[in-house]
Chain A
Amino acid sequence: MKILVGIKRVIDYNVRVQINRDGTDVVKEGVKMSINPFDEIAVEQALRIRDAGMADEVVVVSIGPGAAQQQLRTALAMGADRATLIETENEVQPLAAARALMKLVESEGPGMVLLGKQAIDDDANQVGQMLAALWDRPQATFISGLEVTEGKAKAVREVDAGLETVEVSLPAVFTVDLRLNEPRFVKMPDIMKAKRKPLETMTFESLGIDMPPQLENLGYAPPPPRAGGTKVESVAALIAALKDKGVL
């Protein structure tokens, strides 16, 4: 069985994001970029499934600019077998990403698709669900536990009420959450090996998906500055202040 893992190049989670001066976008120039942390967890899980003998190939794919090759090489250094870059300099919106992944699903024929639950730049949390719908296959999202057997998988999902266990028949789409695993450290000799692993690039246009952007960003603004609190001297003053704010 082949496992397809989608990874996205995003601003590193440690970096303080800034908005550019005209409020049209976040500052990306000279800013550290990394694999979306949830996608790293997805790569790690795919590797564990393969190393346990339940799969024989882990293919990582990314949709993004040429520089996303760095992130694909990191995934290869973690242990993935092959990488594909669907190259575009344009913003990749969720439906376009799902359609592009569907094309890859058609050509690769994976038994499982693993994705991070959401990307930390847009927090959309849509691609996995859309892909499952396009593919007409089951989905298990926000998983923090996974057990793969022949043709089936049991997944523990983190839901509002607690934990939900579902069983899905493969092939299926899984989106992973934080508690699923702790990704391995990349080792130096593996970084060297990764340079020789196959990395294929294709343009987004070559997929033949005609998809104008569905979402328009109207603007970015920082959160409003916190107003200071006040200390009151007496209970009477507190009540007066609460009444003033319309709370009492």
Chain B
Amino acid sequence: MTDRDVMEYDAAVVGGGPAGLACAIRLKTRKPDLSVCVLEKGSELGAHALSGAVMEPGPLDELWPEWRDTPPSICVPAGDDEFLLLTRKKGWRLPTPPQMKNHGNYVVSLGSLVQKLGERAEAVGVDVFPGFSGAQLLIEDDRVTGIRCGDMGVQADGRPGPAFAPGVDIRAGVTVLAEGCRGSLTKQAIKQFGLDAGSTPQTYGLGFKEMWQLPAGRSRPGMIQHTVGWPLDSKTYGGSFIYHLDQDRVYIGFVVGLDYEDPAFSPFEAFQQFKHHPRIRSLLEGGEIVSAGARTLIEGGLQALPKLDMPGAVLIGDAAGTLNVPKIKGIHMAVRGGMMAADHVAESGSAEGYDACWRSSDSAAELRRVRNVRPGFNRGLWAGLANAAWETLTAGRSPWTLKTRSDHDSLRRADAGTRAAMENRWLEKRDLPPRDRLASIYFANNAHDEDQPVHLRVSDTAICATRCFEEYGNPCTRFCPAGVYEIVEQDGGRRLQINASNCVHCKACDIKDPYQIIDWVPPEGGSGPNYQNL
């Protein structure tokens, strides 16, 4: 019988991102007598934080006006915006959509911002615990009563090792789930409490990001560029971002809608191809990668948003799904949602009612205005752009709400043509780093103790070797940004190999796996990437 310590808090926040920290700071400032803790599975705050990111500062100014005195290490005022349509060799400047005009905003490193928020949280008396994962919700009588933290020092075979330390049970009056996109406890909560009963299917994107150090003079600090078109076909949603920083650095990244249909498609490869476009290559040539990583984004918007409260707990930030997709901005929504949850808990003392409160807020109005943009792209790039223009002109007042579609059942079956394509998907020879996914995750400073149970739980690996191989050609071997999944030929047969220690915690597999047999759970606390300045 494991002897677990129990710690009690009035409010326990799972996730040390902008939503969780904003909630904790706001709650502790409004009610200093309440005990508030924040759990973060990364080894330090910011270790797992990865985002574009161009941030609207309004909600942060409201939460903590003094943030500007100790800004994040990367915080560049937004300059000009450029929106480009790329073909294989050329690029055409399109008018910048109003949602992408960024005057007054900042290009920030989310990781660094989160560290500053963490310092603020500790200064106001929040207990911040980096290196601890939330493994399970504690549920009693249909009510969330807290969180069980993950055990440490468990060996690969599941038995306790010599340094075994059982995870603490945190009993909390209110549990705040702020795990970010596709959180594992959030997934449990939605299932347990049927929170998505009234929502359309949730849909996601997979984002890659690299920070490059360039030769002097190439970067135009504050320049914000977005592209659509090449190398994606018109059926695949996605595009790139290039945010120019100071000190001759740039953030360059690529987002692909995970509702893509082609089973042979490799999102990572698409990103690397994009970098070789003549306009982009000329920016990057001669530079070097400093940091890289990947993370999924939640794109369903208002109609896919689950119910945000349940007995004893609330969902905030990207765990709830408040990202504004046309703006590609989620930080300001996360901060606002976190503050709203804090205010609600401070005033009512409980989680119930937060959903109603959020739905009548400015945040809901913001998402309502843009709710039809993303699903409009389900008909392809051109229909999507036309629909987006319409939605922008009408400020979202269309009397209809388009339905989102789920990602895991959007893949076409693989056929002979697809199989051939899988081998020679991209004909372009690539010479810009990184060479491949393994080389890329090297820049994520990934750390996983090898001797721990595999945290990617595939409930039936026989499907991988047989059905999935036939029907889809094992897409997990292509969509995972870190090369976790491999199909190896062994003894005349095939089996799935899971290289769990490569995992960068993006959650793409949990989302896109066509059979929905992959369950991502947090590995030992402190494992995973150690993103620097992303």
Binding site for B on A (CB under 8 A): 12, 14-16, 18, 21, 29-32, 182-189, 191-192
Contact = CB atoms under 8 A, between A and B. Distances in A.
A188 B132 contact: yes
A16 B442 contact: yes
Contact of A14 (B109, B112, B445): B445
B127 interface: yes
Interface of B: 5, 7, 43-44, 47, 73-74, 109, 111-112, 115, 127, 129, 131-132, 149, 152-153, 162-163, 165, 168, 213, 247-248, 290, 442-443, 445-447, 530, 532-533
B301 to A, nearest CB: 32
Contacts of A187: 5, 165, 168
Contacts of A184: 163, 165
Contacts of B129: 188, 191
B533 A30 contact: yes
A89 to B, nearest CB: 18
Given A185-B152, A188-B149, A189-B7, A12 B530 contact: yes
A192 B126 CA distance: 11
Q: Which of B44, B115, B446, B530 has the largest number of chain A CB atoms within 10 A?
A: B530
A182 B152 CA distance: 13
B168 A189 contact: yes
Contacts of B109: 30
Given A16-B443, A16-B445, A32 B532 contact: yes
A30 B149 contact: no
B5 A188 contact: yes
A195 to B, nearest CB: 9
B532 A31 contact: yes
A32 B152 contact: no
B44 A32 contact: yes
A172 B74 CA distance: 47
A16 B530 CA distance: 10
Contact of B530 (A29, A32, A185): A32
Contacts of B115: 30
B5 A14 contact: no
Contacts of B442: 16
A184 B5 CA distance: 16
A200 B293 CA distance: 40
A192 B47 contact: no
Name the 7 nearest CB pairs between A and B, nearest first: A30-B73, A14-B447, A185-B152, A185-B165, A188-B168, A14-B445, A30-B533
B141 to A, nearest CB: 26
B5 to A, nearest CB: 5
15 contacts: A12-B43, A14-B445, A14-B446, A14-B447, A15-B530, A16-B442, A16-B443, A16-B445, A18-B290, A21-B247, A31-B532, A184-B165, A185-B163, A188-B7, A188-B168
B96 to A, nearest CB: 30
Contact of B127 (A182, A185, A192): A192
Nearest to B170: A188
A224 to B, nearest CB: 14
Contacts of A188: 5, 7, 129, 132, 149, 168
B481 to A, nearest CB: 18
A32 B47 contact: yes
A186 B43 CA distance: 12
A30 B445 CA distance: 14
A12 B162 CA distance: 24
Nearest to B168: A188
Given A14-B445, A15-B530, A192-B127, 19 more contacts: A14-B446, A14-B530, A15-B532, A16-B445, A21-B213, A30-B111, A30-B532, A32-B44, A32-B445, A32-B530, A185-B153, A185-B165, A187-B165, A188-B7, A188-B129, A188-B149, A188-B168, A189-B168, A191-B129
